[in-house]
């Protein structure tokens, strides 16, 4: 009986060993298949220790390229470059370059030219030819003759030539002319003349000096009223002068005098009839 039981136990152990061997074989084949599949994919894979590990992180992307440098000032304003000289020549978009024929004071025209140069950022070397290209009539003939004999001037010299040729007759001392300037007609006319002279003064005047020079040249009654306000800048002084001129033109005494003249003109009988004493005096003079 014992022999039979031991045989049965031996058979059971052999069957367990067979089952265990089959289980190990299945597990081994599964691990082999998993290693093969992980080697051909980017997912987790088995390392030498047989443990699943995540792949290393990808390297960081390269930094973006630096932005291109900003275009030069002339390119931003629509300028193109001359292939021969390399100077920027401004293109004319919405700004219209002023023309000058020599019939007026060149001061306003030259100021408009400089405003155009600032807006277009024109180089100093291009200013004279841009300005002279827009001369017409007698002014064009004058500059053509000058350039033929003396060559093209620089911008500052060109402005002085325009002032001397077409400007108002001003002595070589514009500051002295400004000090002697006085109001002879309206405030507007005096103001225009004052600004024209002050723009030709090369010495830099302070705001206080400009106010004093402008005020002292006003008419006496307007000058006193403006000085009482002690204006801080030239614009304020000019505004006060125009206001007091208007007040003087519509003063009550002036209105009363106008009404008196209109009343006298409306009574022709009184004005047409001579005085009795005057009529009686005429025969006495003739009788002598």
Q: Is there a domain that residue 159 lies in?
A: yes
Q: Is the pLDDT of residue 237 over 70?
A: yes
Q: Is there a domain that residue 225 lies in?
A: yes
CA gap 180, 123 in Å, rounded = 38
**Is there a single domain that holds both residue 231 and residue 186?**
yes
pLDDT, tens only, 125-167: 899 999 999 999 999 999 999 998 899 999 999 988 998 888 7
- Least confident stretch, 14-28, 56-70, 187-201, 231-245: 14-28
Q: Is there a domain that residue 22 lies in?
A: no
**Is there a single domain that holds both residue 180 and residue 246?**
yes
Q: Is there a domain that residue 217 lies in?
A: yes
Where is the domain boundary, 144, 166, 188? 166
**Is there a single domain that holds both residue 179 and residue 243?**
yes
3 state SS of 25: helix
CA gap 192, 203 in Å, rounded = 20
Closest CA to 222 of 191, 250, 243: 243
Q: Is the pLDDT of residue 13 over 80?
A: no
**Is there a single domain that holds both residue 162 and residue 179?**
no
Split into its structural domains, the chain has a count of 2
Structural domain range at position 116: 106-166
Q: For tokens 């950022």, what's the residue? A: 121
**Is there a single domain that holds both residue 162 and residue 178?**
no
Please, which pLDDT band fits residue 214 given cuts at 50, 70 and 90? Answer: very high
Q: For tokens 């700004």, what's the residue? A: 95
Closest CA to 157 of 177, 131, 181: 131
Q: Is there a domain that residue 158 lies in?
A: yes
**Is there a single domain that holds both residue 204 and residue 147?**
no
Closest CA to 113 of 91, 135, 93: 135
pLDDT, tens only, 174-183: 788 888 999 9
**Is there a single domain that holds both residue 151 and residue 202?**
no
pLDDT mean over 13-19: 67
| Selected residue with higher pLDDT from 255 and 172 | 172
pLDDT, tens only, 115-124: 888 888 889 8
What proportion of the chain, given as a percentage, has pLDDT over 90? 30
Please check whether residue 240 is in contact with residue 214, taking contact to mean a CB–CB distance below 8 angstroms.
no
**Is there a single domain that holds both residue 150 and residue 119?**
yes
- Least confident stretch, 41-45, 219-223, 226-230: 41-45
pLDDT of residue 195: 87
**Is there a single domain that holds both residue 121 and residue 139?**
yes
**Is there a single domain that holds both residue 180 and residue 238?**
yes
Where is the domain boundary, 132, 148, 166? 166
pLDDT mean over 229-234: 93
pLDDT of residue 10: 54
Q: Is there a domain that residue 114 lies in?
A: yes
CA gap 116, 92 in Å, rounded = 10
Q: Is there a domain that residue 11 lies in?
A: no
pLDDT of residue 175: 83
pTM: 0.43
Please check whether residue 238 is in contact with residue 226, taking contact to mean a CB–CB distance below 8 angstroms.
no
H/E stretch holding 202:
none
Q: For tokens 């023309």, what's the residue? A: 99
**Is there a single domain that holds both residue 207 and residue 244?**
yes
pLDDT mean over 109-114: 89
pLDDT of residue 176: 85
H/E stretch holding 105:
none
**Is there a single domain that holds both residue 181 and residue 143?**
no
- Mean pLDDT of all residues in the chain? 74
pLDDT mean over 73-99: 54
Q: Is there a domain that residue 138 lies in?
A: yes
Cα 236 to chain centroid distance, Å, stands at 24
Q: Is the pLDDT of residue 169 over 80?
A: no
Please, which pLDDT band fits residue 1 given cuts at 50, 70 and 90? Answer: low
């Amino acid at each position: 009986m014992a022999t039979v039981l031991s045989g049965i136990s031996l058979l059971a152990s052999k069957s367990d060993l067979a089952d265990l061997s089959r289980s190990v074989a299945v597990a081994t084949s599964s691990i082999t298949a998993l290693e093969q599949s992980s080697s051909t994919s980017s997912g987790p894979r088995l390392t030498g220790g047989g443990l699943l590990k995540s792949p290393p992180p990808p390297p960081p992307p390269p930094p973006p390229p630096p932005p291109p440098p900003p275009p030069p000032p002339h390119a931003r304003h629509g300028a193109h470059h001359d292939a021969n000289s390399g100077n920027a020549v401004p293109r004319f978009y919405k700004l219209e370059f002023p023309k000058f024929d020599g019939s007026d004071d060149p001061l306003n025209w030259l100021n408009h030219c400089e405003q155009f140069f600032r807006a277009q950022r024109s180089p100093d070397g291009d200013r004279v030819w841009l300005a002279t290209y827009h001369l017409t009539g007698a002014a064009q003939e004058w500059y053509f003759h000058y350039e033929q004999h003396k060559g093209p001037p620089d911008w500052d010299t060109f402005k002085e030539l325009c002032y001397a040729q077409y400007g108002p007759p001003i002595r070589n001392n514009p500051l002295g002319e400004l000090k002697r300037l006085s109001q002879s007609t309206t405030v507007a006319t005096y103001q225009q003349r004052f600004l024209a002279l002050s723009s030709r003064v090369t010495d830099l005047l302070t705001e206080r000096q400009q106010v004093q020079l402008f005020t002292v040249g006003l008419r006496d009654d307007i000058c006193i009223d403006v000085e009482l306000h002690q204006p801080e800048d030239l614009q304020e002084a000019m505004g006060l002068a125009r206001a007091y001129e208007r007040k003087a033109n519509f003063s009550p005494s002036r209105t009363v005098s106008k009404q008196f003249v209109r009343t006298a003109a409306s009574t022709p009988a009184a004005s047409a009839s001579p005085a009795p004493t005057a009529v009686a005096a005429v025969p006495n003079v003739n009788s002598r």
